[in-house]
Structure 1
Amino acid sequence: MSSSSAGASAEAIAHFRSLFQPLTQEGLTALAECYSDDVDFTDPLHHHVGRRAIMAYYRELMTEVSHCHFDFHQQHVLDQRCFLEWTMHYSHPSVRGGRTLSVAGCSHLTWRDQRVCRHRDYYDVGEMLYEQLPLIGWVVRRIKQRL
């Protein structure tokens, strides 16, 4: 396989990670360059296809949260695939009085020509969102305790 069709270099992965420490409106232009035009993005709440769609998602996210940054713990690279284990720290003015909250997760990235062409995030949506809401949070926490 030629280097142009290979996955990502260590530098490309490090650059990608750096743009989430913190994730800011100002960093979105550089982040867009890390994705292929036809990128396929999925997380527990969303699915977007194409760089424009995913960047619109990030722009909307950045207008809603007060702060968002990621601590990366482990990185596993195999051919064109990269797995990043992380903890996301975020604050939203409407959730828990704007307190900083944390949720653990993992990103599965597929790289093509030094750009991410598939990005799939895995995390507990209940921990991130539902458990933080007043009435629903109590119910979700009780269900998890019983399981």
Structure 2
Amino acid sequence: MDMDHAAALVRLTRYYESLSLQNIGSLGEFYTPNAYFRNPFNEVRTSAEMAHIFRRLLMHIDVPRIEITATILQSNQAFLVWNFRCRLKRWHEDELTIRGASHLRLSNDGRVAYQRDYWDVAEELYEKLPMLGRLMRWLKRRMC
């Protein structure tokens, strides 16, 4: 295990666990300028675009919390398992929990050069929204 990458991964997980609108400007300390990022809704190729996505997300939610539940590091690649908890400002009064994982590739300086987030949009988000949730649950029952 590369100690520089291990230390960088610890710093990154601490950053994520404290992510807020107030510290989103620090994203460049943890990601290369041309970092690739993809999740079920977005695909961008710079850390500036990534910061814009995170900023927009944080403006639409209350009480965001990211809990890293497991990390695996092998050479310059890492896998994070996480729970993202929040309240949606307009749609959902209860706390929403999205469970997912991220595959990371770290650059030589320990910053993230590649991140792909994996999570089930239907189960973790759509089923929990008021009107869309009923439809998604009905579809799920019909298909299974």
Whether TM-score is above 0.5 comes out as yes
1:3 alignment counterpart: none
- Which of 103, 109, 113 is the matching residue for 1:108? 103
- Which of 115, 118, 122 is the matching residue for 1:122? 118
CA separation of 1:116 and 1:132: change in aligned 2, threshold 3 A: same
Contact 1:67–1:92 (8 Å) recurs in 2 = no
State the one-letter code of the partner of 2:138.
Answer: R
Contact 1:8–1:115 (8 Å) recurs in 2 = no
Q: What is the distance in 1 between the residues matched to 2:26 and 2:57?
A: 16
CA separation of 1:60 and 1:133: change in aligned 2, threshold 3 A: same
Runs of 5+ consecutive residues of structure 1 not aligned to the other structure: 1-5
Contact 2:68–2:83 (8 Å) recurs in 1 = yes
State the one-letter code of the partner of 1:21.
Answer: E
Give the 5 Å matches for 1:56-135: 56-97=52-93, 99-113=94-108, 114-135=110-131
State the one-letter code of the partner of 1:74.
Answer: A
TM-score, normalising length from structure 2?
Answer: 0.89
Q: What is the distance in 1 between the residues matched to 2:124 and 2:86?
A: 9
TM-score, normalising length from structure 1?
Answer: 0.87
- Answering whether residue 136 of structure 2 is matched by residue 140 of structure 1, we say yes
Higher RCO structure, 1 or 2 (CA under 8 Å, sep 6+): 1
Query: How many aligned residue pairs are there?
Result: 141
RMSD: 1.7
* Runs (4+) off by over 3 Å: none
